[in-house]
Amino acid sequence: SQTIHQWPATLVQPVGSPLSLECTVEGTSNPNLYWYRQAAGRGLQLLFYSVGIGQISSEVPQNLSASRPQDRQFILSSKKLLLSDSGFYLCAWSSRTRGANVLTFGAGSRLTVL
Amino acid sequence: GNSVTQMEGPVTLSEEAFLTINCTYTATGYPSLFWYVQYPGEGLQLLLKATKADDKGSNKGFEATYRKETTSFHLEKGSVQVSDSAVYFCALSGASRLTFGEGTQLTVNP
């Protein structure tokens, strides 16, 4: 069966520090991968999605970046965090063979920038 | 572009009450429609979906019908439980991605 792992689950970082959130998917190959952010009391904002290794589409211009060094690995990064980067970050995947419609989410990573 | 508008929350109900959470959408073509649920501190889980007009998705006592004429996909449950307390997200499919509504917080009191 397919599983998705995100880490770390919780992170507290000072303003200006770097960030790396990692997401891996098991039990499938060639998935579509996504990073969403959920700010407090707000809905989901799509940040990045990827349809293959090295293929990243950015939805919102900001100080975050994403990389996909391997087929089932998706990394969210920042060189210098801002206060506004605080939120709940969710990684998700979908199967291309079953259509890009159904997303399976990880448990999320809660980032607090102080 | 695609967009989803959800009923504003929070919604507070007593156990066994009837639930409706409204969702309307704007989209080109014929998207699939979804409801996701997020329990406290967790990621989102797919609750139900419908892929074409007049389809009814159902799961765990929840139902939603894809209404093309009113561009709606309202979520309903006849008798809510305390364990249904969560945030509910309506979503529609687009090119390689989903567009989500803002989410509706539901609290069910015993």
pLDDT in tens, A13-45: 999 999 999 999 999 889 999 999 987 766 888
Facing A108 at nearest CB: one of B42, B51, B100 = B42
Across the interface, whether the CB atoms of B45 and A103 are under 8 A apart is answered no
Is the distance from CB of B93 to CB of A45 less than 8 angstroms?
A: no
Give the number of other Cβ atoms within 10 Å of residue A4's Cβ: 24
Across the interface, whether the CB atoms of B93 and A42 are under 8 A apart is answered no
Report the alpha-carbon distance of residue B38 to residue B103 in Å, rounded. 9
Residue of A nearest to B32 (CA): A101
- pLDDT beyond 80 at A97: no
Across the interface, whether the CB atoms of A43 and B100 are under 8 A apart is answered yes
CA B73 to chain centre: 7
Across the interface, whether the CB atoms of A100 and B103 are under 8 A apart is answered no
Smallest Cα distance from B15 to chain A, Å: 24
Dihedral of alpha carbons A96, A98, A103, A107, sign: negative
Q: How confident is the model at residue A100 (pLDDT cuts 50, 70, 90)?
A: low
Indicate the Cα dihedral angle A77, A81, A87, A88, nearest 10°.
20
> Which has the closest alpha carbon to B72: B55, B94, B47?
B55
Portion 28-67 of A in contact with B at CB < 8 A: 32, 34, 36, 42-44, 46, 49, 51
Across the interface, whether the CB atoms of B49 and A107 are under 8 A apart is answered no
pLDDT at A98: 60
Report the alpha-carbon distance of residue B98 to residue B83 in Å, rounded. 26
Chain A touched by B40 (CB under 8 Å) = no
Q: What is the DSSP letter of B27?
A: -
Q: Which residue has the tokens 């499938």?
A: A28
Q: What are phi and psi of B83, to 5 degrees?
A: -70, -10
Report the alpha-carbon distance of residue A22 to residue B106 in Å, rounded. 30
Helices (H) and strands (E) in chain A, counts: 0, 11
Is the distance from CB of A16 to CB of A74 less than 8 angstroms?
A: no
Non-local (6+) Cβ contacts of B7 within 8 A are: B20, B21, B22, B23, B104
- pLDDT beyond 80 at A92: yes
Question: H-helix or E-strand containing A34?
Answer: strand A32-38
- pLDDT beyond 80 at B90: yes
**Chain B hits for A49, Cβ within 8 Å:** 96-97
Report the alpha-carbon distance of residue B87 to residue B44 in Å, rounded. 9
Question: If you average pLDDT over residues B70-80, what whole number do you get?
Answer: 97
Question: If you average pLDDT over residues B5-33, what whole number do you get?
Answer: 93
